[in-house]
Structure 1
């Protein structure tokens, strides 16, 4: 017999950044009955974020028809603002999903730490940076940890909960309950690990695919078809790249000197041409 879904320990959640994952986190949270405020830097970013919310709501409703009404109503339940202090001023939980640059994240967390209630729990969705690299910027490292989601979070519904050495274990326990309350499968990590569990498994695959392409061993379609056919996986590595987003892939590659050639390849052949993956309708593949 399935266990009942727990009630969220947080009544008010703020999501910082309405990019691909930020919009999904806000949508998933709102669809499960929690009040959500979403922040982005200006009106243009908020408009783009609103479009993502609507698009993801449609995708989630198609994938999970039993919850179609909840996902359909969720975008209208999310309050948008470009005022950071207003966004976090009454938050119980703040989830950050801003671009993957350490100094930017530290700056955002310093501002959040000064404006959010002392009781608020603070979580980064960073896919590659460790929470210990940002914790001190918040001014409350014991209430700070990582909460990492995968793309298409309503279906591929892992939520990796990873504290740092100074995280209060009770805070991590509470965040794990929150993840379950919004329909996720909590994955608890016992210590910090760059790339968590999911990306520790995924990144070597994507890196091997990039190397095969750069060396001219095979083209994108052949590499993907090989992986799908041989493993039964629904998507090949370059299809995964498109879902993750090529800007995210570029940011991660740029931070690693050994991946400089791959970062340059993505910049010249895709980013400079406005091809960012599924989010823009074109990446390694073209999407409707």
Structure 2
């Protein structure tokens, strides 16, 4: 199947980036988001990091934006002719279930439905859809234009042709497709990353050290470019909070509840990371950019 019309359902930090990257590569992209102004702000926030990291011009950014042909909160109109829908709503099984219940009756039969979920596997969501053979996960990294991996995994009923179509689509938007042989929570990317982030959060929640000290130790001792709390700010603490709550629900491990309880006041205060201007650090000039931070 040739994919022409792409819809992003949910324009959060990563959803907006996926829409931008597909548009940048020539697709006519539509975005559905319950709050149009938030989607517009997130797309605008892409401009500076995209231009800086890709050494691109304002004209390059605008050329991509010109291919985002609609931003709407009218779901029926947005998906009316969709070849591919990439769901990127909040990491909550209840929210995703409700959204699929709203979405699926509106989709054309041809539409491939994917989720960018970073927490759930396809088998945990496919039962909320009406198209198991045309449902898979298509997962991206933050700053998609630079960290250009697309992880692809189906559920046991996914048509192999759909996996092939998604692989071709990933290549067409300048991604390196990674097709998993079986379902895995966190795919490859987060199966490796999340234990590091959890370890950092546990040290903080247990009062061993503060986030800046933990990041400083990790970076100096390992030569890593970012510490776990720097990464959390980029990901966004709302996503982190949802992931931690899900881990608590799955395991009943009180440590995850302890971490969630530490995060909740930050989220309630609006300190949700880079996008908000404050998380574990203050932006646009985070403390770790000060040369004295590592002394």
Would the alpha carbon gap of residues 67 and 92 (structure 1) be closer, same or farther in structure 2, given more than 3 Å must change? farther
Runs of 4+ displaced beyond 4 Å = none
Aligned to 2:290: none
Q: How does 1:191-230 map to 2 (within 5 A)?
A: 191-230=182-221
Partners of 1:68 and 1:146 in 2: CA distance: 32
**Does residue 64 in structure 1 map to residue 60 in structure 2?**
no
For residue 160 of structure 1, give the secondary structure of its aligned residue in structure 2: strand
Aligned to 2:138: 147
Q: How does 1:277-288 map to 2 (within 5 A)?
A: 277-288=273-284
Aligned to 2:41: 51
**1:111-144: CA deviation from partner (whole Å, max 9, x where unpaired):** 3221111011000001101111221322111000
For residue 46 of structure 2, give the secondary structure of its aligned residue in structure 1: helix
Aligned to 1:267: 264
Deviation of the 1:80 alpha carbon: 0.6
| Structure 1 stretches lacking a partner, 5+ long | 1-7
Q: How does 1:123-162 map to 2 (within 5 A)?
A: 123-162=114-153
Aligned to 1:12: 5
| Structure 2 stretches lacking a partner, 5+ long | 285-295
Deviation of the 1:197 alpha carbon: 0.6
Give the conservation status (yes or no) of the 8 Å contact 1:60–1:68.
no
**1:10-33: CA deviation from partner (whole Å, max 9, x where unpaired):** 111000011111111111110111
TM-score, with structure 2 as normaliser: 0.90
Q: How does 1:236-275 map to 2 (within 5 A)?
A: 236-255=227-246, 256=248, 257-258=252-253, 259-268=256-265, 270-275=266-271
Aligned to 2:17: 24
Residue number among 97, 104, 122 corresponding to 2:113 in the alignment = 122
Would the alpha carbon gap of residues 122 and 53 (structure 1) be closer, same or farther in structure 2, given more than 3 Å must change? same
Partners of 1:76 and 1:46 in 2: CA distance: 17
Deviation of the 1:68 alpha carbon: 5.6
Partners of 2:49 and 2:56 in 1: CA distance: 13
TM-score, with structure 1 as normaliser: 0.92
